[in-house]
A and B are shown apart, each in its own frame.
Chain A
Amino acid sequence: AQKITQTQPGMFVQEKEAVTLDCTYDTSDQSYGLFWYKQPSSGEMIFLIYQGSYDEQNATEGRYSLNFQKARKSANLVISASQLGDSAMYFCAMRGLNNAGNMLTFGGGTRLMVKP
């Protein structure tokens, strides 16, 4: 079974500052993938970034980076230079890569609020 834990229900960050959203996971799979999604108030789910368990380097996509610590089973999302448009719900998710079904499990989410 897979489990994702996001311990921060809500966070504030000042515009233009960096912020880290925490994500820890638990799985018995040897190979797995970790995903972050953004959900603005409109409700759509926007894919942000992916990290494979065997990737040696931390993933980066523009202002998003993933601080992947495999031994600690954590995959924290770092957003640099926060913008007002970053205010949204953020979800961490994982999928076992050896699972024929590729079931995708989500955490409870973190609501990020960017202050001007």
Chain B
Amino acid sequence: DVKVTQSSRYLVKRTGEKVFLECVQDMDHENMFWYRQDPGLGLRLIYFSYDVKMKEKGDIPEGYSVSREKKERFSLILESASTNQTSMYLCATSPPISNTEAFFGQGTRLTVV
């Protein structure tokens, strides 16, 4: 089974802190995604990576950056956390075969106070 692991289930950070959300997958998938989920807005794509050191902006990249130094790890970085970044963050992974579903981590609920 594909395993996608996010480093924390719950996280509380202060405004202005630098925050790292880590995602690790064990299935050698090329594609990795970071979404945020807010009520009524569904899942919105923040960033996407299709290979090591490669990244593409999604729909809402402002205030975020990402890092993919190794194939299995995709990090989401909030350079200076703000209260409007309080949300559920979901990491997903998929092979490059486009008709295959994406596999999700358990999510990180981030609260910025």
A residues lining the B interface (CB < 8 Å): 4, 6, 9, 33, 35, 37, 43-45, 47, 50, 52, 91, 93, 95-97, 99-109
Contacts and interface: CB of A to CB of B under 8 A. Distances in A.
Contacts of A37: 101
B94 to A, nearest CB: 7
B41 A108 contact: yes
Interface string B50-92: 1000001011000000000000000000000000000010101
Contact of B45 (A9, A97, A100, A105): A105
Interface of B: 31, 33, 35, 40-45, 48, 50, 56, 58-59, 88, 90, 92, 94, 96, 98-99, 101-104, 106-107
B41 A103 contact: no
Contacts of A97: 98-99
Contacts, number: 62
A32 to B, nearest CB: 8
Contacts of B92: 45, 104
Contact of B40 (A47, A95, A103, A108): A108
23 contacts: A4-B42, A35-B101, A43-B106, A44-B104, A47-B101, A47-B102, A47-B103, A50-B101, A95-B98, A96-B98, A97-B98, A99-B98, A101-B48, A101-B56, A102-B31, A102-B50, A103-B56, A103-B58, A104-B33, A104-B45, A104-B102, A105-B59, A107-B42
Given A6-B42, A45-B90, A101-B56, 17 more contacts: A9-B40, A35-B101, A43-B88, A45-B92, A45-B104, A47-B101, A52-B99, A95-B98, A96-B98, A97-B99, A102-B96, A104-B92, A104-B94, A105-B45, A106-B44, A109-B42, A109-B43
Given A43-B88, A43-B107, A107-B42, A33 B98 contact: yes
A44 B31 CA distance: 19
A113 B92 CA distance: 26
A105 B35 CA distance: 10
